[in-house]
A and B are shown apart, each in its own frame.
Chain A
Amino acid sequence: MKELNICETGASKNEWSSCGPINQGMIAGKVKDKSTKNGKALNAVPSPLARLYVVNDAFSMLTYDLLNRTNNCGEVYKFIVSDCLDAFEILYNLKYHEDKKEDVRVRVWNKQKGLQELKHVDSGHLATSLENYLSDNSFSELNEFVLIKYKNQILAGSSPFTFLFTTPNLDKYEDRSFMNQSYQENFDLINPNTKKKYFTGIRLFEDREPLFQKYVLDIVEKCTSDHIANFRNYIKYWAQRINLSTIDSVQTKSVVSEDNANVFINGVEIGKSIGLNSMNFFTDHLIKVRFRIDSDSFFCGTYLNDKEERNYDYLLPLRVEALNSIDYNTLKVEFQESAREVKVIITLPDNKQKSQTYRKQISTGDEEEKYTIIALEEYVANVNLGIFPFLQVVDNDDKATAENDY
């Protein structure tokens, strides 16, 4: 007996006979994608809010795969999940982008005002349709959409299912280029944590910084809505495995929209990271120079078990934003060397410590390899580094002047 169906529902007669519904669980578990990598597959839901459902399904399918050790979720859905998390990361990094004067805007589409505006446009087809679909169960409590925009390009919006969802303009072809030419050519917002453009690679929750993971987990835990079940299950799955309980909550400040209102999504106030503890302090590489740096003139780290014959130094592997946020006079940086790696330990003013271990570079020149030591003596023929300036400007009392604030 062969059932003429997309999956087996239990029907066993060669006439129309009762079966169970094909529900989300069956879809995730029994229906395998045909290696779909093309974003064009994502517009199948007959609602103007289709995108929100698709993003929700992506989380559901991915979680099913994680729980059942299957691989039914096509790459296109993994990208959707990753993009959604990237949208979260934009809000997480919002202060960084604001400090850099990058044109990231948070706007709010108010349901009542927005529908009114759309209705004024001639026949109001979209307004009527949106109004109709916004009355569906899942949207009955929704009064606004929070929108994230960069320059003149819309990136993401709020969703009752997944907090955030991305525009289909960010969907990709199989070669991972944006399907939208304008986004492909003009989108240039760089994620400070990866140094790459947002939305350009698959980075699932487990691949992200623990502090960011904690940030998302905190948001999920504050939300009581049943609509976020799929999203919650996915985040909780990883939260249990990564053990985020040892990490302090991220210090945040409210995200404020263009209308000067604090931003809430699904009843949770959304923050942007501001705390030192949420900052990624360390650069991707530790640079070793083949001379000792004058610690009387420059701020240097100290070495645990230092040797007098040491004829090299490490540049402080600290990001600019870290240095801008800490009074270096209260900062303590220590290098702990071993045969194959160097551990850098920072002690913050509140005595909390951060550390990062850098390994000796195995495959030189691989930009993707993070947290490695770049020893300049290995590049002696081609590269060297000087510390500028060599001179210190002093006043009549031999004290350094303000001109030294280079």
Chain B
Amino acid sequence: MKSLTMLLASGYKACNENGEGEAIIPVLIDPHKSLDEFTNCKRILDKYCQIRSMITRSSVLEDNFFHTRMVSLENMGSGDDANPNFDYDLRLDCSFGEFIKKSKLPTDSVSQDLINLLYSESNINRSLAVGFKGSPNVGCVVLNDFDDQSWFQDFTSKFGKEDRVFIVASVFGGTGASGFPLLVKKIRSCGNTYLQNASIGAIAVMPYFELTPPKKEDPNNDINSNCFITKTKAALSYYDRELKVDSLYYIADDKQQKPYINDEEQQQNGTHFIEFMSATSVLHFIKNTPANQSKSPSARKTEYYSICIDKNDEVLNWDNMGMAHQDVVYSLLNYYTFTIINELIKKEKDFPLRKTSGFNDSFFNSGFFLLLDEFNKEYFKWLRELSENDRAFAPFRLNENSQLTDFPLQGHEFSNTKNFLWSKIPYGLSYYLHEMILLEKKYKSMNMDNVYEKYTEMMYEAIDNMNKFIK
């Protein structure tokens, strides 16, 4: 979800098969609420929505960063995108046995025996406060009361005719693996006919990292990455038999050399390239799987998708990933360029647009920029995590100090062959500032009231005008 947010922030568009922009309504289902990564993801989503709401005049935005609308389920239809609530309280502070009220059954009842047959004692005694700890057989029961939960009721009541569903879930873990097939079941049997017949896409995220071996002295440590493949095999086999969606995307990787620290409380694992690639599946689904289906779900055939990279290298970049990935990387490059220019431009006291377009100190000190700066820091952190992970996704020269002395695309120099003038001047900020000056006339004629929109859109175009020569 974080990678998808960053990709959308870069201006990459979620367009349907007719090229029309679509909105995305993320629903995060995770009972492990204390997890930093979970709260961090929600914070990034909040910021995305707030920033977007400040740079848009309407729900439709021209070519710009944050082009795609993301809105919380709760705020759908309210027109208030700025104050999203992605937080549905799914936390349960009890054990699985308490949840199913096992102790209320007579001790020697056959139903007690059946429960003990289907679940191990450790399953039954496990606290649900930290998620399902790699036990989808537990999770699917706990999550089974989707129907009674406010988010699902919101979801079914607001789901409309042309809407589609996409489920992102790891199949070797706990919560995702539990919720994925269950959600499909619930959708297919809910009361909303549009939802019942909706196009459903899903990505089955399979093992792409390893964990340090669990400590022997910790009997409660249930996560052992040696089991990931075994778990995946079991899950895929089940999906093969029982799961029916319209589009199923597969992804996995075996390149990791350095395992993550096995700490399920913290799970301080940096963003991984596979997570980024998974995010692109959402956009592929929106573009390729039509919302309108002529056949009933049971009569429809599942389309399966997989993805390749050109070279099986440990570090991936613009050149070795493959041509088809370059569109996505290009968007990220533009936003990364934007984050640097955004820092540098504040110090350019002689920049003429300060006076002529209102891009002055009070503009740069506004709440919008505070918000944008915070988001951009997350963006930089996200890129750095990707570049430091195994396998690394490192297409950019990442510069902590926001310098623009080298073209940010790793292994490439800026070469504007169409404009002879630029070839005499070293690459840097001036390229982009000059382009903005050239664009100002066009933007003035558009009479844009929203100065933040004007700034980001002008910046988007200027950066694209310069960077596109890499293509």
A: residues with CB less than 8 A from B are: 1-6, 9, 11-24, 27, 31-36, 38, 40-51, 53-54, 57, 60-61, 74, 76-77, 107-110, 114, 117-118, 121-123, 125-126, 128-129, 132-133, 136-138, 145, 147, 149, 154, 156-157, 167-169, 171, 179-180, 182
11 further contact pairs, Cβ within 8 A, besides A21-B304, A45-B234: A4-B274, A4-B309, A34-B229, A43-B137, A48-B140, A50-B137, A50-B234, A125-B100, A128-B144, A156-B117, A157-B117
Contact indicator B101/A40 (Cβ below 8 Å): no
B-chain residues with CB within 8 Å of residue A49 when the two chains form the complex: 118
Q: Kindly provide the distance from the CB of A172 to the nearest chain B CB, expressed in whole angstroms.
A: 12
Contact indicator B116/A154 (Cβ below 8 Å): yes
As a 0/1 sequence over residues 236 to 278 of chain B, the CB contacts with chain A under 8 angstroms (1 = contact) are 1110111000001111110000000000000000000010010
A24 to B120, CA, bound (A): 26
Give how many B residues have a beta carbon under 8 Å from the other chain's beta carbons: 88
Contact indicator B120/A121 (Cβ below 8 Å): no
**Known A53-B237, A125-B100: A16·B307 in contact at CB below 8 Å:** yes
A355 to B237, CA, bound (A): 45
**Known A5-B206, A46-B136, A125-B145: A147·B110 in contact at CB below 8 Å:** yes
Contacting A47 at CB < 8 Å: which of B100, B238, B324?
B238
Beta-carbon contacts under 8 Å, B84-136 to A: 99-102, 104-105, 109-111, 113-123, 134-136
As a 0/1 sequence over residues 257 to 301 of chain B, the CB contacts with chain A under 8 angstroms (1 = contact) are 000000000000000001001001100100010000000000000
Contact sample, A vs B, 12 pairs, CB 8 Å cutoff: A4-B309, A6-B252, A13-B324, A14-B309, A14-B324, A41-B230, A42-B230, A44-B231, A50-B118, A109-B111, A154-B116, A180-B122
Is B312's beta carbon under 8 Å from chain A? yes
Stretch at the interface among B174-182, B405-413, B420-428: B174-182
Contacting B240 at CB < 8 Å: which of A4, A21, A31, A149?
A21
Contact indicator B250/A109 (Cβ below 8 Å): no
A31 and chain B: residue at smallest CB distance: B233
Contact indicator A171/B120 (Cβ below 8 Å): yes
Beta-carbon contacts under 8 Å, B205-230 to A: 206-207, 222, 224, 226-230
Contact indicator A18/B303 (Cβ below 8 Å): yes
B-chain residues with CB within 8 Å of residue A40 when the two chains form the complex: 134, 222, 224, 227
Q: Kindly provide the distance from the CB of B190 to the nearest chain A CB, expressed in whole angstroms.
A: 13
A-chain residues with CB within 8 Å of residue B206 when the two chains form the complex: 5-6
A-chain residues with CB within 8 Å of residue B141 when the two chains form the complex: 48, 125-126, 129
A114 to B171, CA, bound (A): 31
B280 and chain A: residue at smallest CB distance: A16
B207 and chain A: residue at smallest CB distance: A6
B-chain residues with CB within 8 Å of residue A129 when the two chains form the complex: 140-141, 144
- Residue pairs across A and B with CB atoms within 8 Å: the count is 274
Contact indicator B304/A43 (Cβ below 8 Å): no
Contacting B227 at CB < 8 Å: which of A21, A36, A61, A137?
A36
> Helix, strand, loop or mixed for chain B's interface?
helix
Most interface-central of B171, B182, B250 (chain A CB within 10 A): B250
A-chain residues with CB within 8 Å of residue B120 when the two chains form the complex: 43, 167-169, 171, 179-180
A35 to B228, CA, bound (A): 11
A315 to B15, CA, bound (A): 86
Contact indicator A33/B307 (Cβ below 8 Å): no
Contact indicator B144/A44 (Cβ below 8 Å): no
**Known A13-B308, A76-B230: A126·B280 in contact at CB below 8 Å:** no
Beta-carbon contacts under 8 Å, B136-176 to A: 136-142, 144-145, 171-172
Q: Kindly provide the distance from the CB of B221 to the nearest chain A CB, expressed in whole angstroms.
A: 10
Most interface-central of A3, A23, A43, A136 (chain B CB within 10 A): A43
**Known A121-B105, A129-B141, A171-B120: A42·B304 in contact at CB below 8 Å:** no
A391 to B305, CA, bound (A): 85
Q: Kindly provide the distance from the CB of B256 to the nearest chain A CB, expressed in whole angstroms.
A: 13
A12 to B306, CA, bound (A): 9
Contacting B242 at CB < 8 Å: which of A14, A136, A169?
A136
Is B232's beta carbon under 8 Å from chain A? yes
A17 to B250, CA, bound (A): 11
Contact indicator B308/A14 (Cβ below 8 Å): yes
B-chain residues with CB within 8 Å of residue A5 when the two chains form the complex: 206, 250-252, 306
A23 to B321, CA, bound (A): 28
Q: Kindly provide the distance from the CB of B319 to the nearest chain A CB, expressed in whole angstroms.
A: 12
Is B36's beta carbon under 8 Å from chain A? no
Most interface-central of B111, B121, B140, B177 (chain A CB within 10 A): B111
**Known A38-B226, A47-B137, A182-B121: A18·B180 in contact at CB below 8 Å:** no
Contact indicator B306/A147 (Cβ below 8 Å): no
Contacting B139 at CB < 8 Å: which of A6, A23, A36, A46?
A46
Is B323's beta carbon under 8 Å from chain A? yes
A-chain residues with CB within 8 Å of residue B185 when the two chains form the complex: 132
**Known A22-B236, A126-B100, A157-B117: A34·B226 in contact at CB below 8 Å:** yes
